[in-house]
Amino acid sequence: MKKLLTPLFLLAGLALFPGGCASVGDIVTTGLRVELTGLVRAADGGVSATWRVVNPNVTAYLLAKISNKIYLNGTLVGTAASHDPLGLPPHGEAMQTGRLTLAGAGAEKILGEAAGHGPVGYKVESLLVVQIYGEETETGTVTHTGTVAVSTK
């Protein structure tokens, strides 16, 4: 009888937890959404990206770092990051702006073509570092798609 219990418990465990292992950071960031709200090309050639982090959860978050890969019409145009802490209230949102580091000459061309032509499709892949307690953090990723206006100053 004892020999039968071990395989039975293993099968029960597999039935209860079929998804395998998920990272703790991805579990912590479940529900969070990073939306791109604007791309602005300055006269000096620099580009700034503004994003909104939306928290639909009942838990408040402190984000220690946000790093975004930004795609326009399916092409990577660059990355924008913020190392400034960002507090997210429950069922709330917060805005941040960062300098876009362009992903090459092709990115400059795509941004130039998109400027002033109305909304363009985007995808943003975000790496979120959530401050848990003291120096302890968890890292999770979120992806969001939508449309955004590209403007010039």
Instruction: Write down the pLDDT at residue 13.
Output: 55
Instruction: Write down the pLDDT at residue 76.
Output: 95
Over residues 75-133, the pLDDT tens digits come to 999 999 999 999 999 999 999 999 999 998 888 889 888 887 889 999 999 999 999 88
Q: What whole-number percentage of the chain has pLDDT above 90?
A: 60
Q: What whole-number percentage of the chain has pLDDT above 70?
A: 83
Q: What is the dihedral of CA 133, 36, 55, 32, to 10 degrees?
A: -70
Average pLDDT score over the chain: 86
Mean pLDDT lowest for which of 41-45, 66-70, 118-122? Answer: 41-45
Mean pLDDT lowest for which of 20-24, 31-35, 39-43? Answer: 20-24
Instruction: Write down the pLDDT at residue 145.
Output: 96
Contact 55, 93 (CB under 8 A): yes
Instruction: Write down the pLDDT at residue 62.
Output: 94
**CA atoms lying within 13 Å on the CB side of residue 130:** 21
Residue with tokens 């999770």: 140
Domains of the chain with CATH codes: 28-97+108-152 (2.60.40.1820)
Confidence class for position 29, pLDDT limits 50, 70, 90: confident
Q: Please determine, for residue 20, whether its predicted confidence score (pLDDT) is greater than 70.
A: no
Q: Where are the beta strands (DSSP E) in 2-152?
A: 33-41, 47-55, 61-72, 75-82, 86-88, 92-102, 120-133, 136-148, 150-152
